A and B are shown apart, each in its own frame.
Chain A
């Protein structure tokens, strides 16, 4: 059957298929080319839109979070000589100095000084963390107690936010007053990197959560890497083809697709309710995440092992190596870069995971970094989630700053994976 132009365009004037100069044909070609350009632009728009979203997300986070790494500081003149401070300069040289300072009623001293220096309400401009700075200054130079000293202390949340341009009218006015007095300055918020969770946004830090994350990741790695690699070796090199092997393969592929929150339910039912392990501990979090990461490592490991050419196995077998020696002396070292790449990607996923950890109770307020694997701990993504629930403007920038730290970790891990892949990947 032949198809004529009439059949393709019913109701149109019949023209020869090669009548390129005919007007109808030209119009049709122009239309088709326009459609082609439109389609291509549509594709470009899709790519740009996706990339633009990523850029928008990153810029928002960096814009909000960069301020989380800085803090507003106030130069506060304190008249120690005429203050209510209760301290004997002699004790400052003894080991009991910290204890003596803790009992010295510093908060009252600071409040009075702030009210004197900046008028009524001055105390509200100073962060509760100011006494740490004052303590440090006194310890560094006990002679300040004999007179008036100007000490740089962190500003309160309201002043901090207002100085960064998001405050309300009252705080804006206070900031302007402080600026005119020349008391306001901006410094690097070291406390954000060294402290743990707290109730005042000027005092919180991510070190507690970060340490929790590191311990949890250590447990996850220690459990999932050996098990994942051994399982991959078994399935790829030794497993007989039978129903059991099929069952193992089906389970692994399914586990890789199970929503992460289900692993949280498993951890809750088995690790907490059945085995009575401590809630909120890195041990349980690490075990739960290990179950989640293991299938990823197995799948990546199998692909890496599959890529090792059979000639290597045959050569090793040929000179008398046993099957175990073939695998552990030859196949595994050659497959290791691929396995490591998969492991790092799996670990990066586990590091950003929140939902299963919420299920096993890792959402408690933990104000000190965990000392061991059974201590209550928080992890970085959960800390972000907890801070995101706080209403204060001061917490918004802290949340974004924590997100920046988390993204930096993930970026480093993924870059490492890409580097390993490029450096050690062999084409056989």
Chain B
């Protein structure tokens, strides 16, 4: 009997328990009277169902984790297994193959000896999974019977079920903390391993990035200087993209909130938001296919040297467009938060609308806008697909926007795809880069939220 079957039977037993308990509680309620019973029939039903299912499920989970060892043990005790070679490597290879054959995961044997072990494996697996299923079903019956015996008018089934529900809710909310801890732990752990091979100072301040040469055995000293990557990231995400996104986003927000007629606003605002909903891989493809070749042609007609078909400008431009709705909605919010009285005061003094916007609204909304820009920068430097597809792989320290630069995220993708031995400095470098990225985006977000919050409080 397979685990899935046992699972199904346990859940079915739970459903039966629910029905039986509910029927019994309904009868009981009719006999004892509504006011004499503590809980509703359905709540008794849930109590019994949970007692039926949960212990059995917990047992099945534990069983599933210990069975492989038990199966292996019993197979090794069979006479056939005595003929296995003593060499550990071949031995475990044969055992693994036999197990895969027995469970049907594979159909062809590489080593003929594993065929002799298939039968013992199959028998052991059958024995233990059957035993587990039987025990689980007995456990389900026992739990259900125990809970069913407690269906009494005064029994507080509701409180007990609700207590479990509360634990469930608490558990769900703890997943967020676990995830954060998981991210921090995995980044820190792998980064520490990386920094045991590469000096952190060389990594943070080194000017030469060529992980390939480290992989080929030229040593790690000059291979992992990440400054060119940091520069490329800042150049694309914080400079070029923002030069596009801030003016366009801010002016769009101003026009749509201050000048546009309501009908225009109703159509244009969602349209701008579509820009944020386009997947980044589409932007990346667009940048690589359309924008980058066009920019290279422009550069070569202008006679700019070092123009590459994978330019920082193409990636930055497209990323800027992606960020426009982000900036625009942040600016929108902070302009809307400026008190009407300030606007009215300025207009009453005879200022034109644009003078009011430039001299009153924007200065008053500036902290909010700055916070929005910081959030946008954190978004832009963590963006991956656009730079992977449109920016290059050459780690250049250059100011020429038509040249190819590489970024932190591009290199992370580059380092972790292809061959993966998990102990090489090359692979672990991706985690160190990830740690830097995580810390920087976290700081940017904290600062941005603090700026926005502080400013909001000032006007409320």
Interchain CA distance A328-B408 in the complex, whole Å: 45
Asked if residues A266 and B183 are in contact (CB atoms below 8 Å), the reply is: yes
The reply to whether A50 and B248 contact each other, CB–CB distance below 8 Å, is yes
Q: Which of B19-27, B136-144, B174-182, B212-220 contacts A (4 or more CB under 8 A)?
A: B174-182
Are A258 and B384 in touch, CB under 8 angstroms?
Answer: no
Please state if A406 and B282 are interface contacts (CB–CB under 8 Å).
yes
Known: A254-B442, A262-B438, A324-B165. A294 touches B279 (CB 8 A): no
For B314, the chain A residues whose CB sits under 8 A away are none
Given the contacts A51-B268, A234-B169, A322 and B162 also touching, CB distance less than 8 Å: yes
Listed stretches A32-40, A90-98, A120-128; interface member: A32-40
Contacting pair A396 B277 (CB below 8 A)? no
Flag if B176 contacts A248 (CB, 8 Å).
Answer: yes
Known: A260-B384, A385-B389. A36 touches B353 (CB 8 A): yes
CB within 8 A of A235: which of B162, B173, B352? Answer: B173
Indicate whether B321 reaches chain A with its CB closer than 8 angstroms: yes
A54 at the interface (CB under 8 A from B): yes
Q: Give the segment of A135-143, A159-167, A214-222, A351-359 that binds chain B.
A: A351-359
* Contacts A239-B173, A354-B384, A355-B384 known; 20 new A-B pairs at CB < 8 A: A35-B352, A40-B259, A43-B252, A46-B255, A47-B272, A248-B177, A257-B375, A258-B442, A259-B382, A261-B382, A261-B409, A262-B438, A269-B189, A354-B281, A354-B385, A381-B279, A381-B281, A384-B285, A407-B278, A407-B279
**Is B324's CB within 8 Å of the partner chain A?**
yes
- Can you report 7 residue pairs joining A to B where beta carbons are below 8 Å apart? A50-B321, A230-B172, A248-B176, A257-B375, A294-B176, A298-B176, A352-B279
Q: Are B383 and A259 in contact (CB under 8 A)?
A: yes
Count chain B residues whose beta carbon lies closer than 8 angstroms to a beta carbon of A.
86
Which residues of A sit under 8 angstroms from B173, Cβ to Cβ?
A: 230-231, 234-235, 239, 248
Residues A44 and B445 in contact in the complex (CB < 8 Å), given A248-B176, A385-B385: no
What is the bound-complex CA distance between A14 and B37, given in angstroms? Answer: 93
Q: Which of A43, A53, A298, A396 contacts B275 (CB 8 A)?
A: A53
Given A258-B441, A270-B186, A46-B162 contact (CB < 8 Å): no
A407 touches B282 (CB 8 A): yes
B102 to chain A, nearest CB (A): 18
Contact B254 A43 (CB under 8 A): yes
Bound together, the chains give a CA A418 to CA B259 distance in angstroms of 25
With CB as the reference atom, state the residue of chain A lying closest to B381. Answer: A259
Residue in chain A with minimal CB distance to B382: A259
Q: Is the CB of B382 within 8 A of A262?
A: yes
Q: Separation in Å of the A278 CB from the closest CB of chain B?
A: 11
Q: Which of B49-80 contact A (CB under 8 A)?
A: none
CB of A313 within 8 A of chain B?
no
CB-CB under 8 A for A43 and B251, given A259-B383, A353-B279, A385-B389 = yes
Known: A43-B255, A44-B255, A322-B162. A254 touches B180 (CB 8 A): yes
Interface flag for A108 (CB, 8 Å): no
Tell me, in angstroms, the Cα distance from A265 to B187 when the chains sit together: 8
Q: Which residue of A lies closest to B248 (CB)?
A: A46
Q: Which residues of A contact B166 (CB under 8 A)?
A: 238, 324
Kindly identify which residue among A50, A227, A270, A410 contacts B175, using a CB–CB cutoff of 8 Å. Answer: A227
CB distance from A415 to the nearest CB of B (A): 10
Question: Taking A43-B254, A324-B165 as contacts, is the C-beta distance between A268 and B183 under 8 angstroms?
Answer: no
Give every chain A residue within 8 A of B169 (Cβ-Cβ): 230-231, 233-234, 238
B430-449 Cβ-contact flags toward A at 8 Å (1 or 0): 11001001100110010001
